[in-house]
Structure 1
Amino acid sequence: MSVVVVAILTPKPGRSQEILDAFAVVSPLVHAEPGCELYAAHTDGDLVVMVERWASPADLAVHATGAGIARLGALTDDALAVPTDVKVLQNVPLGEPAKGTIQ
């Protein structure tokens, strides 16, 4: 069963583009990781929100210790105001299957 993750990054003032640039660098690495089904950046003002979907908890565990995340940390640690807030979500299907869950 797929695992959905939301990661919220709060940059220091004026540094959100630096965070997005770092994701542009690491996204090709992450997209090539086994089990990566979705790894997409979104913004809300200065916040950067990553929405991820992994084929399995094991794939997510490998990702969490992989080269892409290590590179991301090296590129962003100084730009973050607070540590990244990572949420591993449990699916609660509602209504129509295609619309009531992240596919």
Structure 2
Amino acid sequence: MPVVVVATMKAKPESVDTVRDACKKAIEAVHNEPGCELYSLHEADGTFVFVEQWADADALKTHSTAPAIGALFGTVGELLDGAPDIKMLQPVVAGDPAKGQLRP
């Protein structure tokens, strides 16, 4: 069963570019992790939002201890305004099934 995650990080105002660069650097490595179906970065006003979909809970667990994530948080940890907010979500399918849920 796929697992959807939304991870939000707020950069300190002086660190937005550095945080963006670190996130972009991590993406290529994460895309190559087993079970990664979606790992997409979005930004608004210094807030970075990753929308993720993993093949299953095991793939997400592996991702959470992967080198790319360790390097990312090692780089951005002191540059964030507060702790990252990471939520695992369950789909609530409604309307057109093709548009009402993420798909691998």
TM-score, normalising length from structure 2?
Answer: 0.94
Q: After the TM superposition, which residues 3-82 of structure 1 pair with which residues of structure 2 at under 5 Å, given as runs?
A: 3-82=3-82
Instruction: Compute the displacement of 1:79 (Å).
Output: 0.7
Partner secondary structure for residue 94 of structure 2: coil
Q: Distance in 2 between matches of 1:17 and 1:5?
A: 24
Q: Distance in 1 between matches of 2:50 and 2:17?
A: 14
Partner secondary structure for residue 102 of structure 1: coil
Counterpart contact for 1:26–1:68, Cα < 8 Å: yes
Which letter maps to 1:47?
A: T
Worse overlay, 17-26 or 82-91: 17-26
Q: How many residues align?
A: 103
Instruction: Compute the displacement of 1:98 (Å).
Output: 0.7
What are structure 1's unaligned runs of at least 5 residues? none
User: Taking every aligned residue pair, what percent have the same amino acid on both sides?
Assistant: 40
Partner secondary structure for residue 58 of structure 1: helix
Instruction: Compute the displacement of 1:57 (Å).
Output: 0.8
Which letter maps to 1:88?
A: M
Partner secondary structure for residue 83 of structure 1: coil
Q: Distance in 1 between matches of 2:95 and 2:71?
A: 40
Partner secondary structure for residue 48 of structure 2: strand
What are structure 2's unaligned runs of at least 5 residues? none
Runs of 4 or more above 4 Å deviation: none
